Chains A and B, each alone.
Chain A
Amino acid sequence: MTRDRTAELPESPDDGTLLQKPVDRRGALGLLVGGLAAGAAALSACTPLNAATPKEREIRLLEWEEFTQKHYRRMTEKERAETIERLERLAKLRDNQDVTIATTGAQPGVLFGYAFNISKCQGFRNCVEACINENNLDRRAGTQYIRIFEMENGVVDLDEANPTYQHEVPTPGHFYLGAQCFQCADPPCVPVCPVGATWQEPDGIVVIDYDWCVGCRACMAACPYWARRFNWDAPEVPREEVNPDQHYLGNRARHKGCMEKCTFCIHRTRKGRLPACAEACPTGARVFGNLLDPNSEIRWVLANKHIFRLKEELATEPRFWYFSD
């Protein structure tokens, strides 16, 4: 933690200096489209006027409003509330789901950190299962945020490690190392975004505004840890398996063509709970806590255990440490 860019971030969501790039692009588009809408035949397919049923008409109206939606950090509180109401209503209309989408902000004085015990992990992948269920990950594409590497004892070599093992674990002579988004203090994925759709929150979590993302995948290429995932198609989650406890920047429904990633379960951790992976781990290999609290478990681990991070030479300063007993 030599550098911490989150400290420089302004807290106010309405600060015009937050994004270096011009952000009134969609506003302008909205005005233009609004003016043309009445007469343009090309737009008739998506106008609400020719919807078959009242429900369909409402869905199209709500989708229409999505076009003129602002960037999340530039929304006022009122606009955020309206956006959330619209998203919840859309979930109800489309799939008859009663979801609650939170916009809980970062707690002051909190910086999240993670520690992973490579002596304890047995490679059971319970964390992966919990992550899929908790974050509404695409079941058809089999998206997984967490990868567990099976490695031979003695050396951390990601090129020789096997992340797709499927046999009884633990294998003698091997250890297991889990990787996910490390929420780097200097994240390489953030400055490469051409539209400013991804940024770091004051509590250290790197988040994405899914509705602002254009799906160029530059962040995916920039991440040295392969932590980001792309939605090649609209994610499919069976209705009865959808987690209704959602966050705008976290596990809410994504659409086709946007990036997503681990957010340390932002909808849970901002309410004081553990991330789903840490809670599900059957061996206690995962430690999560507040780095700014000197009496937290994570600080005890960092002070008392042998620790290392992946690819430290890249100076991305991951807030994810590995330790051994």
Chain B
Amino acid sequence: MRRLWAAATITCLTIWLSSGCREGHQVRWDQLPPGTVLVPVDSATAARNAALQPGVLATVPAVPVVGWTGPGGRPFEMARRTAAADSGPARRFGTISLTIALRNSAAALEQYPCTSCHQGRRVIMREKRIADAHQNIRPVHPKQTGAKCATCHAADNVELLALENGDHATFDQVYELCAQCHFAQVAAWAGGAHGKRLDGWEGRRVVLACTACHDPHRPAIQPRIPFRAPQLERARSHTP
């Protein structure tokens, strides 16, 4: 009997190890689509951070932006949502951590993966229970605009976004969804007056997507206490 238990344990351990030692759901943004390139954000920072914190800021996956061009009609790229919460811009870039500005969206999605309930078939639920099932979402934006879930989310596939013209877009193409109303903002984003550029002022241009900074369900940047005030010799005047 003891030998049987040992055999069973070893078998289970082998299966668990061969499956990658981790449970979890296969999410579409884990797989890099063809044409995706890994862009080194900043080799100097990467080298420096690698000494301090191994593995941080090595690369950020980026995809080309379709339908919009940057200044001078030049194409540009957009940093993708990353599944791992501690990789890429979600954790740290530059000199400081930007956990408040950069919504840890991927981690939230991993914590509440849509596909744990929405597995390709319709989920029937009483309307007042829908909010209970999505407690992590604060639907400020839908309340302001009178939108429903299906205004932005594809009803037949929760991992896709629904556009007004009937097309679907992936979460990586979220700018197509936002541009339907916020066309001025998307024009400024493509031009460079809105949003953040990742890799420096010259060379290839990789910018953050809309949802890297804005929570799609609560897009306003939230108030908070600022960094400490300066000790100025004459605080009220701009001249010494």
Interface of A toward B, CB cutoff 8 Å: 115, 117, 120, 122-126, 128-130, 133-134, 141-142, 144, 147-148, 158-159, 161-170, 179, 220-221, 224-226, 243-245, 269, 271-274, 276, 279-284, 287-290, 294-301, 304-305, 323, 325
Contact = CB atoms under 8 A, between A and B. Distances in A.
Contacts of A179: 238
B226 A295 contact: no
Contacts of B240: 220-221, 226
Contact of A282 (B71, B74, B100): B100
Contacts of B195: 284
Majority DSSP secondary structure for residues of B touching A: loop
A167 B200 contact: no
A250 to B, nearest CB: 14
A25 to B, nearest CB: 29
A120 B228 CA distance: 20
Interface string B33-74: 000000000101100100000000000000000000011101
B192 interface: yes
10 contacts: A124-B227, A125-B229, A163-B229, A165-B229, A167-B225, A279-B94, A282-B102, A283-B213, A295-B72, A301-B193
Given A133-B95, A134-B95, A300 B226 contact: no
Contacts of A142: 230-231
Contacts of A166: 225-226, 228-229
A297 B191 contact: yes
B95 A130 contact: yes
Given A159-B238, A220-B240, A130 B48 contact: no
B221 A297 contact: no
A299 B70 CA distance: 11
Contacts of B98: 126, 280, 282
